[in-house]
Amino acid sequence: MAGTVLVSGGSGYIAGYVIRQLVGEGWTVRTTVRNLAREAEVRRVLAVDNAKLSFFGADLESDAGWAEAMAGCSHVAHVASPFPATAPKHDDELIVPARDGALRALRAAKAAGVRRFVMTSSTAAIGYGHAGVERPYTEAEWTNVHGPNLSAYVKSKTIAERAARDWVAREGGGIEFCTVNPSLVLGPVLSADMSTSVEAVKKLLDGSVPGLPNLSFPAVDVRDIADLHVRALNAPNMAGERFIGSGPTATMADMAVILKRRLGTEARRVPTIKLPDFLVRIAAMFDPVMRQVTGELSKPKTMDASHARDKLGWKTRPIEESVVDTARSLIDLGIVKV
C-alpha cells in the first residue's frame, strides 16, 4: 500500500527514519515542523526524493497548520511529542503539549477524512509505577501515573495515550487508531539535533559518567521502530491495537562491554567500574540527565514484543549492532570527540 501520509515532527529522530522508509516504499509524505525555517536543513538530513516530501508548519500547542498538513492524507503517523533531556520545572510543561497535541492531530485527521492513525506512544506508558514486577510487561498493562518517582516524561506519554484512546472511542468515527510503544531507542543519529534517547551511549562514549550505574533498558533500534510504524500503517485491522516495540534489555555495563570490544581505542573513555546506587544519586544532584533516571536504579525491566512479531512479522536487529551504530554516528558527526 502507498498513499499520502502525514508524519508529524519531521525533524525528530524516529520520524526521520519513518519518512525515509515511507518515501522509499513509494508513499507521498507530508511532515510538520514547528518552524518552517528548518525545512532546508531537515531535507538535507533526510536525503530523500524531495518531490515526494512536503513540509507544513504546525505546533503541538496550536491549531494553526494542522488542517493544511492533513488535507488529502489517508494515513497519519503522529510521532511528534516533547522529550527533553532534563526534567521540566513543572510536569505540565510536558503533559499538556503531549496530550493536547495528540488530540489536536486526531481532530484534524478526522476532519480531513484520515482512515488510519498510528500514534507513537512509549513503553513509558506501560511499565512504570508498579512494584515487584519481574516478568516481562505486555500491551495489556498501563503505567500507574500515581506511582512514586515518576518522571514528567513517563506521565506525559501515559496521559497522552490514554487521552487519545478515550477520544477515539467517543468521537473517532471511522478512524482506525493504534499505537506503537517503543522502549529506549538507539541506532545511528542523523544530525547533531539528536534524540535524548541516545544519551546513554553518548555519556559512556564521552566519559561524562565516571562509572557504570546499575541501570538497564529494554532497547530497540530506530530503524526497526520506524519499520514497525510503517507496518502498522500498512496492515489491515489495526483498530485499537497497541504494539510494544522493544528488543532485549541491556544494562549500562552491557553497553560498555560492547563499545570497548568493538571500538577499541575510540572507546577509551568508556568506564568499566560499576557504581553503587548511592553514588549515582549524589552525582545526579549535579547532572540533570542522570536525575531523570535515578528512580530506575537497580530495577531491571523487560518488555514482551511478541505481539508485534506475531501480528506484523516485525523483527529486530541485535542490540550490539544498535549500540555500535549509535556510537559510530556520534563520532562521525563530531558530536563526541574521541
pLDDT at 285 over 80: no
Q: Would residue 54 count as lying in a domain? A: yes
Place of cell 487521552: 163
H-helix or E-strand spanning residue 161: helix 152-171
- Residue 338, in any domain of the structure: no
User: What's the half-sphere exposure (Cβ side, CA atoms, 13 Å) at 77?
Assistant: 33
With a cut of 70, say whether residue 14 has pLDDT above it.
yes
CATH (domain of 203): 3.40.50.720
In degrees rounded to 5, what are phi and psi of residue 286?
-115, -5
Inter-residue contact 68 to 56 (CB < 8 Å): yes
pLDDT at site 37:
96
Question: Cell triple for residue 201?
Answer: 551511549
Please give the Cα distance from 196 to 16 (Å, whole number).
15
- On the question of pLDDT at 69 being above 60, the answer is yes
| pLDDT tens readout for residues 188-223 | 999 988 888 899 999 999 998 888 888 888 999 999
Query: Does any domain span residue 170?
Result: yes
The answer to whether position 337 is within a domain reads no
Q: Which 3 state secondary structure label does DSSP give 253?
A: helix
Q: How confident is the model at residue 86 (pLDDT cuts 50, 70, 90)?
A: low
Cα 229 to Cα 78, 89, 105, 219, 329: the distances in Å are 10, 32, 17, 16, 23
Tell whether 300 is covered by a domain: yes
Q: How does strand 4-7 pair with strand 75-78?
A: parallel
Is position 98 within any domain? yes
220 φ/ψ sector (left φ>0, alpha ψ -120 to 50, else beta) = beta
Instruction: Report the pLDDT averaged over residues 242-249.
Output: 96
Query: In the chain, how many domains are there?
Result: 1
Q: 295: which 3 cell numbers? A: 528512580
Mean pLDDT of the chain: 93
The mean pLDDT value for 236-262 works out to 96
- pLDDT bin (cut points 50, 70, 90) of residue 1 is low
- What domain range is 209 assigned to? 4-332
Asked, for residue 131, whether it belongs to a domain, the answer is: yes
